[in-house]
Chains A and B, each alone.
Chain A
Amino acid sequence: NAGVTQTPKFQVLKTGQSMTLQCAQDMNHNSMYWYRQDPGMGLRLIYYSASEGTTDKGEVPNGYNVSRLNKREFSLRLESAAPSQTSVYFCASSEGLAGNTDTQYFGPGTRLTVL
């Protein structure tokens, strides 16, 4: 099992460009999450999907959109990138049986730089 995979690993964008970060999990998990991690800020939740067909805003959703394509895949889209969105983005998944209180498994991350 690959666990949680993310593409791309690195990306450089110019201000105003758009892009989609892809995430897939092969653990048959119900819940999936997108976080960003900035120095000294810890992990901040952008969006999450408690189950296939549902998505909800997290702590910092502005400037992002998500799509839960199916049970395996959860994508994050930046419509018009800004320098403030320079960060490391992590996707995570969990079984989701306990109301989002269960263990989360993280992907390797995407390092995004917006110039």
Chain B
Amino acid sequence: QKEVEQNSGPLSVPEGAIASLNCTYSDRGSQSFFWYRQYSGKSPELIMSIYSNGDKEDGRFTAQLNKASQYVSLLIRDSQPSDSATYLCAVFLSSASKIIFGSGTRLSIRP
């Protein structure tokens, strides 16, 4: 089992709909979780960080964390073509004392 797992996609969502991206992790003791967005040929940039169970909202983005089930998700409301990118989940694994990135989910917003 990979330490941080994401569905590679591509995930195709119509413009204006909600895009839902999921990530699972192996270390139950992990406490810090991050979502990065990466446009093709560019570097990753942070969208959201979440540390507590529940939801955290920032504009059109909502991060959801469920430590009991060991998953973290990212919802993008009112999806726009500019949201088309690869989304990387990152988890600070307490067992390894370092941040591990998932392989990313490619999201495509169709007009």
Give A contacts to B, CB under 8 Å. Answer: 35, 40-45, 48, 58-59, 90, 98-109
Contact = CB atoms under 8 A, between A and B. Distances in A.
B97 A90 contact: no
Given A101-B32, A106-B45, A109-B43, A45 B98 contact: yes
B88 to A, nearest CB: 7
Contacts of A90: 43-44
Interface stretch (B12-20, B53-61, B64-72, B99-107): B99-107
Q: Which of A35, A43, A107 has the most CB of B within 10 A?
A: A43
Main secondary structure of the interface of B (DSSP, over half): strand
Given A40-B8, A42-B88, A42-B104, A101 B43 contact: no
B92 A100 contact: yes
Nearest to B91: A101
A4 to B, nearest CB: 8
A41 B86 CA distance: 12
A1 B43 CA distance: 17
Contacts of B42: 108-109
B49 interface: yes
Contact of A42 (B34, B45, B102): B102
Contacts of B98: 45, 48, 58, 100
Given A43-B44, A106-B43, A108-B43, A100 B97 contact: yes
Nearest to A39: B103
B44 A106 contact: yes
26 contacts: A40-B8, A41-B103, A42-B101, A42-B104, A43-B44, A43-B88, A44-B101, A45-B99, A45-B100, A48-B98, A90-B43, A98-B32, A99-B97, A100-B97, A100-B98, A101-B31, A101-B32, A101-B92, A103-B34, A103-B46, A103-B49, A104-B46, A106-B45, A107-B43, A109-B42, A109-B43
